[in-house]
């Protein structure tokens, strides 16, 4: 199995359609307890970070195809890996393929915000119970999940909680705005969306979140931006129409 180690080390095993990747996937698919599978699991413990990254990436891909308990069992040992990308991949594998109880236990024990955010995101509806978590990104996900099924009478309080955590949550959630926009659109809250966008755009620290929220809501409604919901007016606030001039620029 020297070829497998070399393919992971030089990156060819993670290149789509590369012969070494095809050979690896064929071997593991044929026998998930065979030599290729065992070798790949061992590479996830390599002393070289780039090898661990490649091995974890491959384990995630193969485990997503069909259940692979051995891969999931190997992932928790990498949740405290010195390399952030290894930790991220391990958290994804634990979160999306592990049992919810395992994910919640890891969330209770770990402190790394990157790992905890990935795990929380993988919980789905179960993340709603973490509204008082110490990490803003986890609280944001929990409030957002709660909002999905909440009656209208609870919307204002949840909106305030989301606004409070949005800025800090964005440190570990790159798509805070789009996530929020999808939920608001699903609830038919176009008018509320406009008010939230205006507030977010008014603060330079949350402007990107507001723009992402507006883009997602407009994208989901399927209408041109210029004819979209009131979010579009907030997202383009302050932009001058092409060819327009301020009074001082006019002849």
Cβ-contact 193, 230 below 8 angstroms? yes
pLDDT over 70 percentage in the chain: 86
Question: pTM of the full predicted structure?
Answer: 0.80
101 pLDDT above the threshold of 60: yes
* 84-88, 102-106, 224-228: segment of lowest average pLDDT: 224-228
pLDDT in tens, 46-68: 999 999 999 999 999 999 888 89
pLDDT in tens, 2-26: 899 999 999 999 999 999 999 999 9
245 pLDDT above the threshold of 60: no
Mean pLDDT within 190-214: 92
Confidence of residue 233 (pLDDT cuts 50, 70, 90): very low
* 54-58, 86-90, 213-217: segment of lowest average pLDDT: 213-217
CA atoms within 13 A on the CB side of 190: 10
User: What pLDDT does residue 149 have?
Assistant: 94
pLDDT in tens, 140-158: 999 999 999 999 999 999 9
What is the C-alpha to C-alpha distance for residues 28 and 41, in angstroms, rounded to an integer? 11
């Amino acid at each position: 199995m020297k070829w497998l180690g070399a393919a992971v080390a030089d990156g060819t095993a993670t290149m789509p359609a590369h012969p070494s990747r095809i050979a690896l996937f064929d071997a593991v698919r044929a026998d998930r307890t065979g030599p290729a599978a065992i070798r790949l699991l061992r590479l996830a413990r390599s002393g070289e970070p780039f090898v661990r990254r490649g091995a974890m990436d491959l384990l995630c891909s193969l485990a997503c195809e069909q259940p692979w308990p051995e891969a999931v069992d190997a992932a928790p040992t990498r949740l405290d890996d010195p390399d952030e990308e290894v930790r991220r991949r391990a958290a994804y594998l634990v979160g999306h393929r592990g049992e919810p109880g395992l994910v919640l236990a890891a969330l209770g024990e770990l402190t790394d915000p990157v790992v905890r955010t990935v795990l929380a995101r993988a919980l789905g509806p179960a993340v709603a119970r973490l509204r008082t978590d110490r990490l803003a990104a986890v609280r944001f996900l929990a409030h957002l999940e709660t909002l999905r099924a909440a009656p209208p009478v609870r919307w204002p309080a949840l909106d305030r909680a989301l606004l409070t955590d949005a800025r800090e949550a964005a440190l570990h959630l790159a798509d805070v705005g789009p996530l929020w926009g999808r939920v608001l659109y699903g609830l038919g809250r176009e008018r509320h969306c406009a008010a939230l966008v205006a507030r977010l755009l008014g603060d330079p620290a949350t402007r990107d979140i507001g723009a992402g929220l507006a883009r997602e809501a407009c994208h989901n409604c399927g209408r041109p931006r210029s004819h979209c919901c009131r979010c579009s007016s907030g997202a383009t606030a302050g932009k001058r129409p092409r060819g327009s001039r301020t009074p001082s620029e006019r002849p």
